[in-house]
């Protein structure tokens, strides 16, 4: 793993987060994992329709980033967005209700998996158009700078979107105006069904901002402590008025691109090896046990997460569907 100066970044052997922070990370990562597993079950039962992109395997990225942010910092991402919502503190009941198309969901049952927002939690979507959120992300950063705050914007996108024209245009504008935006590439190796090795001439995506003078780093995205350390550095860079920063998180998704993808383009043994040797939640669990945290305490966290997901599921399944009259609301703004 390298940064713009060719130096090694923080990896799995670094102490990183405190025990308390690791417990927080363990809870949030496990919540995302169990929530997404339940969402997959509900999709299979026909209770969730449309597209549904699960975040299973990538939990360390968003949790490590979120732990480095403060109140007021803004995040925006693509359609693989449930993890970002939960890490930002959005209510699992509202998220699950939206997934199942219920009136109690964050978008009143009309947005579904890819279109949820929460100004209260500074989460600005959830966007179905590949790469489109990056330009919106620098817009959030521009607003922060215009208002004279030290808040930052985090724009997540995948390696499949990293070579889009609008991404490079966003790099240019962000660098030109020194916007406080952290670009986070979640490189999970496959853009839909195509390996990044076959799709990108650039093999070091963290260097994609160099023509505009944007510093970058490649991080082990399966290590929440490494993610957090790198994000803190990027946040400090942005808050100091030095402009944008680019982080490439080397991660992996265990499921297909979406629930309709059987993922036949990769060997099952590849997925199993990552699960067994590099699972981000197992890594945190082992770190906590090594720090002296009792197994019983971890079981309590697991039980609490299980209860939260069960409550969210029951809330969604028992909530009403939107009234047909909702077809005509939230379409135009009345003058």
In a domain, 3, yes or no: no
Q: How confident is the model at residue 185 (pLDDT cuts 50, 70, 90)?
A: very high
In a domain, 201, yes or no: yes
Query: What's phi and psi for 216, nearest 5 deg?
Result: -145, 160
What is the average pLDDT across 150-178? 97
Q: How confident is the model at residue 15 (pLDDT cuts 50, 70, 90)?
A: low
Instruction: Tell me what pLDDT residue 279 has.
Output: 97
Question: Is the pLDDT assigned to residue 197 strictly greater than 60?
Answer: yes
**pLDDT tens per residue, range 120-134:** 999 999 999 999 999
In a domain, 12, yes or no: no
How many other C-beta atoms are found inside a 10 Å radius of the C-beta of residue 38?
Answer: 19
What is the average pLDDT across 86-97? 98
Question: Is the pLDDT assigned to residue 145 strictly greater than 60?
Answer: yes
On average, the pLDDT of the chain sits at 93
Question: Is the pLDDT assigned to residue 72 strictly greater than 70?
Answer: yes
CATH of the domain at 130: 3.40.50.970
Q: Which residue has the higher pLDDT, 89 or 5?
A: 89
Instruction: Tell me what pLDDT residue 63 has.
Output: 98
- Beta bridge partners of residue 55, listed in sequence order: none
Domain total of the chain = 1
What is the average pLDDT across 95-101? 98
Report how far apart, in Å, the C-alpha atoms of 62 and of each of 56, 141, 304 are: 12, 19, 21
Supply the range of the domain harboring residue 247: 19-316
In a domain, 323, yes or no: no
C-beta separation of 113 from 55 below 8 A: no
In a domain, 7, yes or no: no
In a domain, 11, yes or no: no
Instruction: Residue 248: name the closest of 280, 281, 214 by CA.
Output: 214
Residue 139's contacts (CB-CB under 8 Å, 6 or more residues apart) are none
Question: Is the pLDDT assigned to residue 292 strictly greater than 50?
Answer: yes
Return the C-alpha torsion angle 182, 188, 190, 191, nearest 10: -30
Instruction: Tell me what pLDDT residue 5 has.
Output: 35
Instruction: Tell me what pLDDT residue 8 has.
Output: 34
**pLDDT tens per residue, range 31-49:** 999 999 999 999 999 999 9
Instruction: Tell me what pLDDT residue 3 has.
Output: 44
What is the average pLDDT across 43-65? 96
Name the percent of the chain lying above pLDDT 70.
Answer: 96
In a domain, 242, yes or no: yes
Q: How confident is the model at residue 16 (pLDDT cuts 50, 70, 90)?
A: confident
C-beta separation of 125 from 115 below 8 A: yes
In a domain, 330, yes or no: no
User: How is residue 317 written in tokens?
Assistant: 């399944």
Total residues found in the chain within this entry: 335
**pLDDT tens per residue, range 229-269:** 999 999 999 999 999 999 999 999 998 899 988 888 999 99
Return the C-alpha torsion angle 187, 7, 76, 118, nearest 10: 120
User: How is residue 17 written in tokens?
Assistant: 């987060």
What is the average pLDDT across 97-116? 96
How many other C-beta atoms are found inside a 10 Å radius of the C-beta of residue 193?
Answer: 13
């Amino acid at each position: 793993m390298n940064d713009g100066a060719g130096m090694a970044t923080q990896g799995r052997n670094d102490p990183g987060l405190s025990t308390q922070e690791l417990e927080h990370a363990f809870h949030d990562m496990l919540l995302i994992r169990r929530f997404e597993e339940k969402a997959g079950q509900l999709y299979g039962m026909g209770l969730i329709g449309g597209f549904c992109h699960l975040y299973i395997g990538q939990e360390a990225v968003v949790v490590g980033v979120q732990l480095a942010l403060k109140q007021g910092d803004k995040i925006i991402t693509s359609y693989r967005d449930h993890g970002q919502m939960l890490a930002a503190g959005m209510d699992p009941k509202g998220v699950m209700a939206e997934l199942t198309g219920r009136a109690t969901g964050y978008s009143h049952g009309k947005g579904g998996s890819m279109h949820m927002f929460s100004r209260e939690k500074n989460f600005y979507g959830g966007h179905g158009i590949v790469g489109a959120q990056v330009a919106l992300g620098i817009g959030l950063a521009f607003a922060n700078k215009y208002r004279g705050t030290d808040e930052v914007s985090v724009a997540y996108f995948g390696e499949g979107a990293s070579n889009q024209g609008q991404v490079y245009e966003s790099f240019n504008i962000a660098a030109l105006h020194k916007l406080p935006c952290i670009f986070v590439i979640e490189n999970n190796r496959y853009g839909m069904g195509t390996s990044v090795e076959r799709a990108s001439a650039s093999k070091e995506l963290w260097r994609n901002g160099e023509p505009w003078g944007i510093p970058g780093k490649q991080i082990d995205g399966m290590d929440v402590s490494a993610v957090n350390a790198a994000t803190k550095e990027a946040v400090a860079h942005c808050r100091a008025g030095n402009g944008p920063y680019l982080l490439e998180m080397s991660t992996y998704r265990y499921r297909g691109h979406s629930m309709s993808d059987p993922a036949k383009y990769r060997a099952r043994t590849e997925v199993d090896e990552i699960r067994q040797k590099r699972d981000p939640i197992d890594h945190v669990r082992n770190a906590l046990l090594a720090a002296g945290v009792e197994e019983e305490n971890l079981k309590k966290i697991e039980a609490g997460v299980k209860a939260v997901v069960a409550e969210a599921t029951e809330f969604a399944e028992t909530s009403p569907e939107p009234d047909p009259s909702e077809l005509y609301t939230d379409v135009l703004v009345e003058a």
